[in-house]
Structures are given as C-alpha cells and as structure tokens.
Homo-oligomer: A and B are copies of this chain.
Amino acid sequence: MADSCFVTKLKHYLDLTAAEQKALSVLEEGEYSVAAGEVVFAEESGDADALYVVRDGLLHSSRLMKDGGRQILRIFHPGDVMGTASIAFAKPSSTAVAAVDSSICRFPKTSLMSIYTDYPRLAALFYSLGMLENVVLCDRLRSIGRSDGEARIALLLLDFRDRLKITRPGTAEAFDLPLTQADISDAIGMTPIHTNRLFMRMRTEGLIEWTKGHVRLLDEKRLADLSDYVNRYESLDKSWYPQPTTGSQQDGV
C-alpha cells in the first residue's frame, strides 16, 4: 500500500521505522469526506476530543469577529494535522471549514497516549512539528503586523506553495489555489475590495498570474524579497531526538 500523505509528510522529515509507521496508521483509520463549505468543528461548540489528519483537499481554520468579520488562522493541506488546539483544550478555539471537497481522518486524542509511552521519537517529532507551526505563525504575525498588502499576499502565496511541495514534490511556480479573494483577504487581514486591487496591481507589475483557482508566480525572487520569506518546511533539527522504537525490543537509551 502506498504511503498516505501524513506518512509521506513525516518521512520528509524523518526516516520512520516499520514499528513507528504501524503506530501512525492507527491515526488514519476513520476516514470520511467533507464537502466544500462544510464545518468540521466549530469555535466553542461541542467537545474537542479528536484531531484530524487531512488526506486530500484543502481546509482552513478561522475565528469570527463580533462584527461578522473573520480571521483565517491556518490553511491545511494534505498531510497536515488539524485541531491541535484540542491537545491543550477541551473546547475548539477555532472553526475548521473545508474550502473544497476534502477527505479527512478523525482520531481521538487519547490515541496519543500510547505514542507518548511507546514511541518517544514520534512524540519528539510531533513536538518539533508543533514548534515549526509556531514559527510559521510568527512569520505571519510579522507579515500582518508590519508589512503592506503586497507583501502579505506574497508571503501567503509562497507559504502555500512550499507547504504543497512537501507532499507534492513536483509543485513549482504554478499551482491551484482554490480560495476566493474573500478567503485570502480574511487570511491576510484586509478587505476583499482592497485585496482585489492588490491582485490587479501585482498582475500588472508582472509578479503573478491569477485566474480563478489557479496561480503562477512570475517573479519568485521579487516576491520573496518583498515579504522577506523563509521556507521553514525544508527540514527539522533532529539532534535531540531519542532512539527510534523498533518492533522487536522496546528500545533502551
């Protein structure tokens, strides 16, 4: 059987043992479909007793504002884990919605327990990935806090592309971006009207091509320069990881 996107993604960072892969497969048992626009979990409603692995499609998490506005917090690609806030809290702190028809796997967070006891290296990998997301979030905070509209769009596009690259190594300067301009504006903290004007401008400036649902980066260097972009997804520092768990013996230092 071919690897799932989840395993592909983890293998991108770390050589997994057979035992580790087997332990992970438990997390991808309950696969199901969500239609575009459908809500997977919602802010302050229901219990956050599970996490979700994205198998296919595209989803995002957001928080609403009192005035009806919305801030998109994260965008989830195949191989990503959604709902990690429920590791800390018993209620969802954001709302997850499918941007296109997607396929996800739900697993109860108690499944993590045996990973922590029996597969310490996987626990370490999870922590690393959590901290990676943390750094990416800081990059976005900096972008939204301190740079103008074009730079914010540039960061979003480059990040989207590089995240896609992990599980789709073929991805280059052109890719599908199945988000509306309204979605993008909610992600970069601007109004849809202004976001549209920015897209127009970036088109005439020769930075990007944009046709509904599809983007081409025409000048990656200038985009990266604009947004001071760093690709955080290349590799992780594994120097502090414990020994891997192999099937036969239960490790040892």
| Set of chain B residues within 8 Å of A85, measured between Cβ atoms | 131, 134-135, 138
The 8 Å CB contact of A116, one of B74, B130, B142, B242, is B242
The 8 Å CB contact of A189, one of B86, B116, B120, B145, is B145
* Cα distance, A42 to B252, chains bound together (Å): 36
- CB <8 Å contact, A89 and B236: yes
A86 nearest CB neighbor, chain B only = B237
| Set of chain B residues within 8 Å of A123, measured between Cβ atoms | 116, 120, 123-124, 127
The 8 Å CB contact of A66, one of B73, B228, B253, is B228
Given contacts A65-B228, A228-B66, contact A89 B138 (CB under 8 A): no
Given contacts A145-B144, A145-B188, contact A132 B88 (CB under 8 A): yes
The 8 Å CB contact of A135, one of B88, B120, B135, B139, is B88
- CB <8 Å contact, A116 and B124: yes
Q: How does the 8 Å CB contact mask read for A175-208 relative to B, with 1 for contact and 0 for none?
A: 0000000000000110000000000000000000
| Set of chain B residues within 8 Å of A253, measured between Cβ atoms | 114, 117
The answer, yes or no, to whether A69 is at the interface (CB within 8 Å) is: yes
Those of A144-176 within 8 Å (CB) of chain B = 144-147
Q: Which 6 A/B pairs are nearest by Cβ-Cβ distance?
A: A145-B189, A71-B142, A88-B131, A116-B120, A90-B237, A87-B131
